[in-house]
Amino acid sequence: MAKYDVAIIGGGMGGCIAAALLSKLGKKVILLEQGPELSGRAMDFPYKDGYTLELGGHLIVDDGSGISRICEYLGRPFEIGSDNDCLPFWKEDQWHYIEDLYNIDKSEIKKIIKEIVNTDFEEFDKYDNIPVRTWLKARTDNEGIITLYETLSGLEFQTSDWWDNSASEFLWMRKCHYMNKQTAAYSYWPKGGPVKIIESLIDLIKSNGGEVRTNARTLEIVVDNYKVRGVKIQAPKLTPNEYPEPEMIEADNVLSTVSIWSVMDIIPENILPNWYESKIKVLAQDIFRSSWIGFYAALDKPVYAKSPKEISGWLDGPLTHQGGYYYLQSEIEPASAPEGKHLAICGSFVRNPLDMKNKKWLAEKMDLFEREMDIMLPELKDSLWKSRHLVFDCSVFNKPGLVGTARPANKCPNVEGLYFGGDGFQGRGCGLDRTSRTSLTCVELILGERIEELKDTPHIIPSK
Ligand SMILES: Cc1cc2nc3c(=O)[nH]c(=O)nc-3n(C[C@H](O)[C@H](O)[C@H](O)COP(=O)(O)OP(=O)(O)OC[C@H]3O[C@@H](n4cnc5c(N)ncnc54)[C@H](O)[C@@H]3O)c2cc1C
């Protein structure tokens, strides 16, 4: 008999949620993380001068039916901190409240909301291959509604081609938000940050008897005669030139939550059907990574367009002509800046992520973006310091043709006991919430049954 019921690869939010659910439900689990810390992309980082930089997962896009509901079920609810109170929008050389900018016909938008709310979640699958605009155009000519929705989808999915987001993803999320929060889009900061949620989950996994190992890089998923046997992990090196035998961890099931960009590194060659492997490789192309350049800015006083708690956006920056976002992290998480100081974050979406490999292009674009921010928010010129960053690993674009069944299914089609979660495989939603809902799907697949208490959490239903 294998040592573990389930080996879970990856200690980000997806892996932690899955391990917490499985251990609560009596499975013997081991969670394996290659790095020294758990949290994956949702990491915070103590920076200089008492500032803390949030490297990923700034805001959770969850209407209460996803990650927060799952954590409640686990008995580890987290406290919801601040949410953004408005969305100022830069257009024609000034800031506007987005709702003032467009003439939105109220009866027209109510009709659309009603249709979204009354459509079954599964029915949105039909719109996997069309952009939001195409779906909307069949229902309204009101440019205000179209622009509002396209701006939301651009911000949620960091798409530089803001007109090129999949209608299915967008409508699926709008249904959740309209149903449970009576608003088009709802996001919030979890008090203490995503890392605090992870810490609580790790504590739960351990108290349920689960094992958690860091510095445990999976080298290969071990498959024998199309059945999973476990994983081989890197054994510690005791001398710099030692080449130790990998350690074998036996498990009846393996759930990988590693990103779509690195999952092929741990799958033995010629194991997957070629059509399934191709789906992974298509999505893992650099051209489909949602990417941006940006900077953090330390400030003596808060700088904003309309409200300190805003998240502001634009589709056509005055110099880069790209979309982007700006907000004050210290307003939603005061601990991110020292007393009396403030921390801002902003980014400019990159149309072609391949450009980011070109150092000259990068340097020029970063200069241009800083000058662009000085035009839109001139007080940023007085920043105490700025720290530039580039993001190349946020997520895979939710563009038409790259979502729904274009994504590889969570259960490996030909290897018994092998499952794939994380935010790149099949699933719906955004970022941290998405990977959590996908973990729920994977856990139900492994259990072979639905978790009754979570049947109202929208996610891909395993029987499909
Ligand atoms: C800059 C940035 C900003 C973001 N902003 C937001 C936001 O505002 N809201 C939001 O919801 N989401 C946001 N995201 C996305 C969000 O962070 C991710 O969707 C989410 O963290 C994915 O979680 P995951 O568990 O699926 O994957 P990951 O967090 O990537 O976890 C996978 C883990 O697997 C480990 N791993 C990889 N290979 C191996 C191996 N061979 N062996 C063992 N372990 C391995 C990795 O080290 C990692 O810890 C942002 C991301 C970035 C980068």
pLDDT tens digits, one per residue of 138-193: 999 988 888 888 888 888 888 878 889 999 999 999 999 999 999 988 889 999 99
Mean pLDDT lowest among 26-35, 143-152, 270-279, 377-386: 143-152
Angle value at C-alpha 186, between 303 and 328, nearest 5 degrees: 15
Structure tokens that stand for 211 in this block: 């094992």
pLDDT for position 400: 95
Residue 93's pLDDT band (cuts 50, 70, 90):
very high
Residue having the nearest C-alpha atom to atom 53 of ligand 1: 394
> Is 464 a residue whose pLDDT tops 60?
no
CA–CA distance, 402 with 435 (Å, rounded to integer): 16
Question: Locate tokens 């007080």: which residue?
Answer: 379
Pairing mode, strands 342-349 and 289-299: antiparallel
Domains of the chain as residue ranges with CATH: 4-77+192-272+412-454 (3.50.50.60), 85-185+287-396 (3.90.660.50)
- Four-residue CA torsion sign, 305, 309, 312, 318: positive
CB 51 within 8 A of CB 337: yes
> Is 463 a residue whose pLDDT tops 90?
no
CA–CA distance, 200 with 221 (Å, rounded to integer): 28
How many helical (H) and strand (E) elements, i.e. helices and strands, does the chain have? 12, 16
Q: How far is the CA of 134 from the centre of ligand 1 (A)?
A: 31
Q: What is the pLDDT of residues 309-324, one digit of tens each?
A: 999 999 899 999 999 9
CA–CA distance, 396 with 226 (Å, rounded to integer): 29
Nearest ligand 1 atom to the CA of 424 is: 26
Comparing 158 with 279, which gets the higher pLDDT? 279
Q: How far is the CA of 107 from the centre of ligand 1 (A)?
A: 40
Question: Locate tokens 């094992």: which residue?
Answer: 211
pLDDT for position 57: 64
Q: How far is the CA of 443 from the centre of ligand 1 (A)?
A: 19
Q: What is the mean pLDDT of the chain?
A: 94
pLDDT for position 161: 84
Mean pLDDT lowest among 84-93, 202-211, 243-252, 433-442: 84-93
- What stretches of 31-92 show up as alpha helix (H) in DSSP? 67-73
Q: How far is the CA of 301 from the centre of ligand 1 (A)?
A: 32
pLDDT for position 382: 96
Q: How far is the CA of 40 from the centre of ligand 1 (A)?
A: 4
CA–CA distance, 327 with 444 (Å, rounded to integer): 37
Q: How far is the CA of 41 from the centre of ligand 1 (A)?
A: 3
197 — phi, psi (to 5°)?
Answer: -65, -45
Ligand 1 within 6 A of 394 CB? yes
CB 430 within 8 A of CB 8: no
Using most ligand atoms within 8 A of CB, pick from 13, 37, 39, 41 the residue to mutate for ligand 1: 41
Using most ligand atoms within 8 A of CB, pick from 432, 436, 441, 442 the residue to mutate for ligand 1: 432
Q: Which residues pair with 349 in a beta bridge?
A: 292
Mean pLDDT lowest among 55-59, 146-150, 234-238, 361-365: 55-59
CB 460 within 8 A of CB 410: yes
Highest mean pLDDT, choosing among 14-28, 46-60, 71-85, 312-326: 14-28
248 — phi, psi (to 5°)?
Answer: -95, 130
Orientation of helix 106-118 relative to helix 143-157, angle to 10°: 50
pLDDT for position 213: 98
> Is 104 a residue whose pLDDT tops 90?
no
Mean pLDDT of all residues in 78-88: 88
- Four-residue CA torsion sign, 174, 178, 182, 188: negative
> Is 99 a residue whose pLDDT tops 80?
no
The SS3 of residue 353 is helix
Largest Cα–Cα distance in the chain? 71
Ligand 1 within 6 A of 67 CB? no
Q: What is the pLDDT of residues 319-353, one digit of tens each?
A: 999 999 999 999 999 999 999 999 999 999 998 99
> Is 223 a residue whose pLDDT tops 70?
yes
Mean pLDDT of all residues in 35-40: 95
Nearest ligand 1 atom to the CA of 233 is: 42
Nearest ligand 1 atom to the CA of 265 is: 41
Mean pLDDT of all residues in 407-431: 97
> Is 356 a residue whose pLDDT tops 60?
yes
To which H or E segment does residue 81 belong? none
